[in-house]
Amino acid sequence: MIDIYPAGSRPSRKAPAQWFTGEVWMDPIIAAPAPARINALRVSFAPAARTAWHSHPLGQTLQIISGLGLVGLRDRAPQHIRPGDTIWIPPGVEHWHGAAPETAMVHLALQEEQDGSAADWLEHVTDADYLRSPESTY
């Protein structure tokens, strides 16, 4: 048996303020039942919206769908991310991601759960970290 989720059958939800800065909306793609562990979301960030610092026990893949975004690692300038880019963040690497200051961004976020958790959330990203001059990725 398979599950089919018709478009629009599951509501968008506003991302929790304890894990995000700014206006962020999440649309579920899949939270597969065990023994599968995949969890996937379509995440829409308004300009300047972003995640808090976090890591993933089994890593995370981001696929940029539209807009211009940023991804940051501890003690490094953020990098631009653009439509078509795929980003792999290894397990345990503290990072953040979100929209550029003046441009919205949408990405797919794919991660696996371990012991019921797909992410370990930390503190909010400071404006100083967010506004640090981005590294060129191209």
- For residue 134, what pLDDT band results from cuts at 50, 70 and 90? confident
Q: Is 138 exposed, middle or buried (0-12, 13-18, 19+ CB in 10 A)?
A: exposed
Structural domain includes residue 21: no
- Closest to 89 (Cα-Cα) out of 73, 65, 105, 108: 73
Query: What percent of the chain lies above the pLDDT cut of 70?
Result: 97
Taking residues 107-117, report their average pLDDT. 94
Q: Which domain holds residue 101?
A: 37-115
pLDDT value of position 136? 63
Structural domain includes residue 50: yes
Structural domain includes residue 121: no
DSSP H or E segment with residue 114: none
Structural domain includes residue 24: no
Structural domain includes residue 30: no
Structural domain includes residue 125: no
* Chain position carrying tokens 């967010």: 130
Structural domain includes residue 128: no
Question: Is 89 in contact with 60 (CB distance < 8 Å)?
Answer: yes
In the structure encoding, which two tokens stand for residue 43, read together?
A: 């995440």
Structural domain includes residue 127: no
Number of domain units in the chain: 1
Looking at residue 96, which CATH number applies to its domain? 2.60.120.10
